[in-house]
Amino acid sequence: MHIQYGKKLKSGPGLLGLYLLIFWAAVALAGFFLTPYAPEAYAGKAFLPPSAAHWLGTNDVGQDLLSQLMAGARTSLGVAIGAAFVSALLGALLGAGGTLVGGSVERLTVRMMDVGLVIPPILAAMLAAAYLQPGSFTLIGILAFFFWPGTGRLLRSQTLLLRESGPVTAARTFGAGRWYLLRRHVLPDLAPVLSAAMIHDARRAVFLEAGLAFLGISDPLAQSWGRMIQQALAFTYLDAWSWWLLPPGIAVSSLVLAFALIGTGLEETHAAD
């Protein structure tokens, strides 16, 4: 019998994190249709305070900050979800799949994970981004490349246990192939570990995307909360910091918190199972 991991997050921190994530997902989707102005367009005088026309005011060149915040939500969520998905896919194929295949393939994937785990992902991602000046898709690939060894190691340890379990042994006895075993018997039981790993990687991706944008080593054309914070810091001596610096800072913190709370909720749910 497969692990029952479908229990809903009905209360506690997990539910709060889910509400926060839904809020930012709604903001990101609304940004496609409801942004008051184009994020990069001139919208009014510089340093206008929040008003009915500009809910979060304007920056030093008269761009609407609410429009930039909504566009930044798309960037952060897109990078987070993309990096988490690609990392999980690589971890499942190389970590779990390599363990099922065994032999030289398993040894090769283990060595790849060992090498990847000794590389500091934050420093390596910063160096790679500084060299490549990546767009969103390239950034997703960079982050997933440095995230997947940890996910793969977790999935490998669980696959070693499942490989000798009764259902897998019985299916192998009846002639089931490795792909069938991975798809029908191993991955369903790895889902709790995989979901927790994806939430963890998404949280790190939000932080790293904002950090790289803050340092100026990401796509200069992409709207980002990190770049908004970087630009606002130059004007902390003005009152504008209260409507320019605080909103993106709160946005990054709340989205990271959302993924952390969801991860905590999933851990509590899986522990209860």
Distance CA 229, CA 223 (A): 11
CA 178 to chain centroid, in Å, comes to 30
Structure tokens at 108: 């090769």
**98-136 residues labelled b (16+ CB within 10 A) or e (exposed):** bbbeeeeebeebbebbeebeeeebeeebbebbeeeebeb
pLDDT at 7: 52
pLDDT at 1: 42
pLDDT at 13: 82
Alpha-carbon distances of 93 from 10, 86, 179, 205, 262, rounded to whole Å: 32, 11, 10, 21, 25
Q: What angle do CA 179, 183, 184 make, to 5 degrees?
A: 115
Please tell me whether the overall predicted TM-score, pTM, comes out greater than 0.75 for this model.
yes
Instruction: Identify the structural domains of the chain with CATH numbers, from first to last.
Output: 39-272 (1.10.3720.10)
pLDDT at 269: 59
As averages over each run of 10 residues, the pLDDT of the chain (273 residues) reads 48 85 94 84 91 92 94 94 94 86 89 89 83 84 92 88 76 73 77 88 94 86 91 87 92 96 77 54
